[in-house]
Structure 1
């Protein structure tokens, strides 16, 4: 197990390094010049060149990349090219919105998807099971923006149950209002992603129902539900753990869209603004942090698989 953890940690670091190189390279290909943005439309070529020199943008790309990586090794995400403020401080504030949003979305998505997926599989020979599966197939194809608009109209504008937009200025110093402002955005993501979890759970449960040890337990007198819970559920949970790794990436992408829709001051809105301003240092640091979160979740999922599945432990 120790060898596996060490190998996984090395792969995680290599993945972060490759991601950093790709993010840096892609951002340098994009059109636009942050020096021109800072100088304004009336800035002369000499003024723009002076700004580029002040920001270090006139240095060769390998030098810029190594400077950025050196800062990351010191846990320094750099400073904004536009405002000059440290990226880490502002990014930390935005993560106070994005991470709870993603976490709440994950909890709601799993809370909807897993029970309904198991129920859909158990009832797969009945009309109700078919309806659940068809509904999940349809909802999974719904764009997050469309789902958000529908839920905002229904739960916000029509029923007035939840706030539709905004986040308290004091943030989590007003925990009740802050949490309430995240429910509708989180539910928007959870409905779509929960439908995906439902489909995976249904497939895993149907496979478990067809396994010999589950059918043998039912043949010996256990009810089908008890046999599934006792002998089939561990295999279903392994499949769900795999889905969680994939869903985290979808949740973070969905958070970028939802934060724009519901006017939440999270990393998504920050990223969109910084891309428009061509603030390369902030954008590349934000993308790397989000990529790092996804890679860390993937590593945790691998470890959970090794812990939960005795067959994988026997290979080490």
Structure 2
């Protein structure tokens, strides 16, 4: 197990390094000049050149990368090229919105997808199972923006059950208002991602229903549903654990869109603004942190899968 953990940590660090190189290289290809943004439209060529020199943008690209990645290794994400403020402090504030949003979205997605996926598989020969599966196919294809607009109209504008935009200025110092402002955005992401979980759970449950040990338990007098719960669902849950890592990535991508729609001051909204300002240091640090979160979740899922799945331990 220790060897597996060491290998997984090494792969995680290697993945972060490769991601850092790619992010840094891609951002340097984008059009635009942050020095021009800082100087304004009336800045002369000499002024823009001076700003580039002050910001260190005229240094060799390799040295810029080494300075940035060295700071990241020391947990220093640098300073904004536009405002001069520390990136880590601002990013930490934005993550206070984005991480709870992603976590709540995951809870909604699993809460909808797991039970309905099992129910759809159990009723797969009946009209109810077909309707659930068809609804999941439809919801999985719905864009997050469209789902958000529909929920805003239904639960916000028509029924007035939930706030549709904004976040308290005091943040989590007003926990009730802060939590309420995240319910509708999280439900927007959770419904779409829950449809994906539902389809995956349905397939895994149908496979479990056809396994020999489940059929044998039913043949010994246990009802098929009880045999599924006792002998089949543990394997289904192990399969679902594997897909959670992929869903986390989708949740973070969906958060970028949803934060714009619901005017939430999270990482996604900040990232869009920083890309527009060509604030390279902030953008590359934000992308690396998001990538790191996805890689860490994937590593944790792999470790949990190895710990709870006896088949993988025996194979190892």
The TM-score bracket by the shorter chain reads over 0.9
| Counterparts of 1:168 and 1:57, CA distance in 2 | 37
**Alignment deviations for residues 134-193 of structure 1 (CA, whole Å, 9 cap, x no partner):** 000000000000000000000000000000000000000000000000000000000000
CA shift, 1:210, in A, is 0.3
- Following the alignment from structure 2 to structure 1, what is the Cα–Cα distance between the partners of residues 218 and 101? 41
- Please name the residue that 1:41 is paired with: 41
Q: Which runs of 4+ in 1 moved over 3 A?
A: none
Partner of 2:95: 95
Q: Which residue of 2 aligns with 1:75?
A: 75
Match of 1:277 in 2: 277
Aligned to 2:178: 178
Q: Map of 1:71-150 to 2, 5 A cutoff?
A: 71-150=71-150
How far residue 14 of structure 1 moved from its aligned partner, in angstroms, is 0.4
- Cα distance in 1 for partners of 2:277, 2:157 equals 33
Alignment deviations for residues 222-270 of structure 1 (CA, whole Å, 9 cap, x no partner): 1111100111111101110111011000000000000000000000000
State the partner residue of 1:260. 260
Q: Distance in 2 between matches of 1:138 and 1:308?
A: 33
Deviation of the 1:315 alpha carbon: 2.7
Separation in structure 2 between the aligned mates of residue 84 and residue 49 of structure 1, nearest angstrom: 18
| Partner Cα distance (1:212, 1:308) in 2 | 21
TM-score, length basis structure 2: 0.99
Aligned 1:1-316 pairs, distance under 5 A: 1-316=1-316
Q: CA deviation at 1:42?
A: 1.2
Distance 2:315 2:63 in 1: 44
Unaligned runs of 5+ in 2: none
Cα distance, 1:309 vs structure 2: 1.0
Kindly report the root-mean-square deviation, in angstroms, between the aligned alpha carbons of the 2 structures.
0.5
**Distance in 2 of aligned mates of 1:37 and 1:258:** 27
The runs of 5 or more residues in structure 1 that have no matched partner are none
Measure the CA separation in 2 of the matches of 1:73 and 1:137: 43
Between the aligned partners of 1:113 and 1:71, the Cα distance in structure 2 is 41
Question: What secondary structure sits across from 2:57 in the alignment?
Answer: coil
Shift of the alpha carbon at 1:220?
0.6
- Kindly provide the CA deviation profile for residues 3-61 of structure 1, in whole angstroms up to 9, marking residues without a partner as x: 10011000000000000000000000000000000111111111111000000000111
- Tell me, in whole angstroms, the C-alpha distance in 1 between the residues paired with 2:32 and 2:221: 70
